[in-house]
Amino acid sequence: MGRNVEERPRCYLLVGEAPTEEAARRIAEVYAPCPFVYFMGSFGNMVVGVFFMPRWRDWWLRAISTDPEVTLGLRKAAVYVTDSPAFPAYMEPRVPEERAERSPCGANCAECARYLKECPGCPASSHYRADFLAWKRGESGNHLN
């Protein structure tokens, strides 16, 4: 894979504890459609998720482990990361055919402080800017059209 280290996807494992079994089930259902999720499920009051995303985007997952109650409604959470998953080694984001105003998790990218500063938005959102990284590097002549 000839990708730059910052762009190469990493595999993340989220393990969290929800207040109740019902809360764990609801959290898993809400985040399952995320373009970066490749497994999301609840096991009793535990939530487990597997994500593939570039490291420059992992602030989102790291925020979950730092402040699990505010981000996902979890009592506690841990995020583990590997740069060398055995299988699958790489997964493309799962992008819906039609993008909506809000991301599948309910977030509105346009309201986020990181939008267009550090983040191009969710690939499933109509706010997503695919040319964001090229524009940030000065490789694109037009501003995020």
Q: What domains can you pick out in the chain, each with its CATH number? A: 9-82 (3.30.70.270), 106-139 (no CATH)
pLDDT value for 89: 86
pLDDT value for 130: 80
pLDDT value for 17: 98
Long-range pairs for 55-64 at CB < 8 Å and ≥24 separation?
55/5, 55/6, 55/8, 55/10, 56/6, 56/7, 56/118, 57/119, 58/10, 58/12, 59/114, 59/118, 59/119, 61/12, 61/14, 64/14, 64/16
pLDDT at 143 exceeding the cut of 60: no
14-61: pLDDT as tens digits: 999 999 999 999 999 999 999 999 999 999 999 999 999 888 888 888
pLDDT value for 119: 86
Please tell me the pTM assigned to this model. Answer: 0.81
